[in-house]
Amino acid sequence: MIENDVLLAFIVFFPIASAFIGYAIGKKNKNARNIFACVVTAAEFLAVFSAAFNPMELGIKGLFAMGINFQSGGLRSVLMVLAAFVWLMSTLFSNEYFAHYRSRNRYYFFMLATLGATMGVFLSADFYTTLIFFEIMSFTSWVLVMHDETENALRAGMTYLTVAVIGGLVTLVGMFFLYHASGTMRFDELSVFMSGIENKKPYYIYGLMVLTGFAAKAGAFPLHIWLPEAHPVAPAPASALLSCVLTKTGIFGVLVLSTQIFMYDAQWGLFILITGTITMFLGAFLAVFSINLKRTLACSSLSQIGFILVGIGMQGLLGEHNAIAAGGTILHIVNHSVIKMTLFLCAGTVYMNIHELDLNKIRGWGRNKPLLKIVFLQGLLGIGGIPLWGGYISKTLLHESIVEYITHLTEVGHSAYLFNIIEWIFLISGGLTLAYMTKLFVAVFIEKAPDKLNENNKSDNKYLTKTSAFVLICCGVLISVFGLMPNAVMGRIADVSRSFMNSHYMEHEVHYFAWVNLKGAVISIAIGAAVYFGFIRTLLMTKDQSGQKVYTDVWPKWLSIEKNIYRPVILTLLPSAGGAVVGVMNSSFDLICSVTVPAAGIVCEKIINPSFEYTCSKVYYAAEYLCGNVLNPSFENIYKVLYFVMSKSVEFINSLIENIFLWLLIIGVIVIRFFKGIYDYMIQVVLYLFFNYDEISYEGKRNFRKDAYFSRFSVDKYGEERGMRENLSVSLILFGLGVVIALIYLII
């Protein structure tokens, strides 16, 4: 099957290569570029589709040092078909959406590059491959976020990049330690390795590090901050890609960790579950308050990611009986992608026509547009978990898995209150989902529009091209197909992915439309209705001057993790800590210099000099005593001569030793002078001989610092001048030290 294996490389590298070709075409002809992009994504979709049904492997040794490994089949196939489908739809839609945009070439280039990188992540069979494509994807998608180049977009882009870079680095460290511990990066080998480990404590830490980057990309609490900022500011087709596929690359990483490395691990599962629960509720809660169409959808994505994480957590907790949880997780991934794409493209339709997203301004715009209305309604019903639509199936499975675990706990005799709470949060989040989606739907498609908008509306009834309409219809129909034939379509998708999740097939077919399963949906719908009528329509809407009811943004501006924790820590705390450390280092050198120099002086003056003097005088007296009293007077003449010579030489030695430090100092000065002399002389010679310069002035040597830029960046100047002084003094001390040691060595 050699051709087929190459197919995997084709799937990854073909879009990246065609990104460059597309860029070149776009320079010449814009229309041809758009068609080219559609053809590329369509070809990619076909390639992916044909690769999806037979599992294959491909290892390219030597590429990127450690070699990269691809694998298809199972969950990977599902994800990659999904990604290719979303990409195809979004690209078809882009034609119209970007019709009046500038720098479209850039968009298409990075869009295609991101497609290749995303496929690389989904196909990867080892962490190294995942990491490479994950990083490429982070950077290429960053440009998509910033595409509009408005102030908000730039800001959101920076947040996204910061989270991606820091997350990526932490993941890298985690992978590094995992690699060091196990000696392999391949998922299957890691899985085998981990099953033989008794004490998992250090591995939890490594796992958490690896998780950070993936969780950040998925948008899990508390690393979700970039998501509600970045998704709304990106162009709608890009938002759809970010929300539907890129978050799933993060989920893919979490899945790898939870099903391969921490397989059936209850503690890990509990951690993921709690993270997921918080994300799920937080997203829904934020979405209820939002009055911006795309921001609501972004928050909704956050919430749905929470649902998926709950599923992943549950399949860890349930261990070998995780069939329902695993199925729910996979199906919710699929559902969320398809539904959220539909909704984002609807939002894109609204935006490309009236360039507004504020609910108060777009109110009633969709009243007389049945197609858009129906498609959006499909999305609403799908994501709200209404029976007969897609979302219901997956949410039911997820809910069932929580109930199953509660039953299991009560059977064993443990208390299950935590899971009861989680079950209720789950149902409430489901209710909130319905509430905020209803809010959007009512605002855009039911309420009466302000007069101005209405006029615009009538004059231009053609708001969609045929291609875009086709895309929307496709998405809308798919949601119903998923919901109406749960066992035929969704069951199969789930079964395909089971091997990846290490779960067994379900013991019996789930009766989705039995009362037991419908009960959860009914509770959620009741909560949703209560929230919508009791909270949104009363507390979140006020009357404006003209007596019309408008949506108000009551969410306090200051209440944001990003503003209160992350930005202060990253922008203030860390730099000042770093600055403090560098400052301490610099001043410690100041200190060392200021202490050592006087100390050396004191030591010489107080200790070494007197002790030398003392020794010398003792020697002198001893010699005198020897000469005068002990030696035989009969040798008096010789003794006299000897006495004279000895006393003279002793005196000489005495003075020599006394002055040795002075001498050292003088030599040092001479050496320094010598080098300065060499330097000056060299410059003079060079100048005279070759360049006819008559004289050099050192006077102006500091003047360049008066340059306007230096005074503006005063920090720079301060740092450099200080550093220079310190380094010079230190190097001179070391130089002196070197000379002294060399001399001492030569003397001894």
Q: Which is nearer to other proteins, 656 or 744 (CB)?
A: 744
Check the CA dihedral 444-447-451-457 and report its sign: positive
CB of 748 to other proteins, least distance (A): 12
The per-type count for the chain, helices as H runs and strands as E runs, is 30, 4
Alpha-carbon Rg for the chain, nearest whole angstrom, is 38
Kindly give, in sequence order, each residue whose CB lies less than 8 Å from that of residue 369, ignoring residues fewer than 6 positions away.
Answer: 445, 463
- Residue 366 near residue 350 (C-beta atoms within 8 A): yes
In this structure, which amino acid lies at residue 399?
Answer: H
CB of 103 to other proteins, least distance (A): 8
Kindly give, in sequence order, each residue whose CB lies less than 8 Å from that of residue 612, ignoring residues fewer than 6 positions away.
Answer: 657, 658
Q: Which of 192, 573, 585, 591 binds other proteins (CB under 8 A)?
A: 585
Under the binding rule (CB under 8 A), the answer on residue 603 touching other proteins is no
Q: Which of 197, 554, 595, 682 binds other proteins (CB under 8 A)?
A: 682
CB of 701 to other proteins, least distance (A): 4
Q: Which of 25, 132, 238, 471 binds other proteins (CB under 8 A)?
A: 132
Under the binding rule (CB under 8 A), the answer on residue 741 touching other proteins is yes
Under the binding rule (CB under 8 A), the answer on residue 139 touching other proteins is yes
Report residue 417: phi and psi, to 5°: -65, -35
Q: Where are the beta strands (DSSP E) in 389-456?
A: none
Take residue 66 and report the two structure tokens written for it: 């450690």
Under the binding rule (CB under 8 A), the answer on residue 222 touching other proteins is no
Q: Which is nearer to other proteins, 120 or 250 (CB)?
A: 120
Helix/strand/coil (H/E/C) assignment for every residue in 702-733:
HHHHHCHHHHHCHHHHHHHHHHHHHHHHHHHH
Under the binding rule (CB under 8 A), the answer on residue 684 touching other proteins is no
Q: Is 676 in a helix, a strand, or coil?
A: helix
- Residue 121 near residue 252 (C-beta atoms within 8 A): yes
Under the binding rule (CB under 8 A), the answer on residue 716 touching other proteins is yes
Q: Which of 508, 557, 701, 706 binds other proteins (CB under 8 A)?
A: 701
What residues numbered 36-65 form the site for other proteins, per CB under 8 A? 62-65
Under the binding rule (CB under 8 A), the answer on residue 135 touching other proteins is yes
Check the CA dihedral 387-390-393-396 and report its sign: negative
What residues numbered 659-678 form the site for other proteins, per CB under 8 A? 675
Q: Which is nearer to other proteins, 171 or 277 (CB)?
A: 171
Under the binding rule (CB under 8 A), the answer on residue 593 touching other proteins is no
Q: Which of 488, 559, 630, 715 binds other proteins (CB under 8 A)?
A: 715
Give the C-alpha separation, 629 to 324, whole Å: 113
Task: Give the burial class of 403: count Cβ atoms within 10 A of its Cβ; 0-12 exposed, 13-18 middle, 19 or more buried.
Answer: middle
Under the binding rule (CB under 8 A), the answer on residue 473 touching other proteins is no
Q: Which of 37, 161, 386, 437 binds other proteins (CB under 8 A)?
A: 161
Q: Which is nearer to other proteins, 22 or 520 (CB)?
A: 22
Give the C-alpha separation, 540 to 549, whole Å: 10
Under the binding rule (CB under 8 A), the answer on residue 621 touching other proteins is no
Q: Which is nearer to other proteins, 515 or 698 (CB)?
A: 698
Q: Which is nearer to other proteins, 423 or 590 (CB)?
A: 590
Of the candidate spans 30-38, 373-381, 648-656, 701-709, the one that interacts with other proteins by CB under 8 A turns out to be 701-709
DSSP 223: S
User: Quick count: other Cβ atoms within 10 Å of Cβ 635?
Assistant: 10
Which among 356, 346, 423, 343 has a CA at the least distance from the CA of 383? 343
- Residue 112 near residue 37 (C-beta atoms within 8 A): yes
Under the binding rule (CB under 8 A), the answer on residue 695 touching other proteins is no
CB of 272 to other proteins, least distance (A): 25
Range 613-617 contact pairs with CB under 8 angstroms and sequence separation of 24 or more:
613/654, 613/658, 616/650, 616/653, 616/654, 616/657, 616/658
Give the C-alpha separation, 357 to 368, whole Å: 18
Q: Which of 546, 637, 703, 714 binds other proteins (CB under 8 A)?
A: 703
CB of 275 to other proteins, least distance (A): 24
CB of 536 to other proteins, least distance (A): 37
Task: Give the chain's length.
Answer: 748
CB of 127 to other proteins, least distance (A): 11
- Residue 676 near residue 698 (C-beta atoms within 8 A): no
Give the C-alpha separation, 589 to 566, whole Å: 34
Which among 225, 297, 301, 312 has a CA at the least distance from the CA of 261? 312
Under the binding rule (CB under 8 A), the answer on residue 569 touching other proteins is no
Under the binding rule (CB under 8 A), the answer on residue 530 touching other proteins is no
Under the binding rule (CB under 8 A), the answer on residue 726 touching other proteins is yes
CB of 71 to other proteins, least distance (A): 19
Binding positions for other proteins, rule: CB under 8 A: 62-65, 128, 131-132, 135-136, 139, 146, 149, 151, 154, 157-158, 161, 165-166, 169, 172-173, 176, 180, 578-579, 581-582, 585, 589, 675, 679, 682-683, 686-687, 690-691, 693, 696-704, 709, 713, 715-716, 719-720, 723-724, 726-728, 730-732, 734-735, 737-739, 741-742, 745
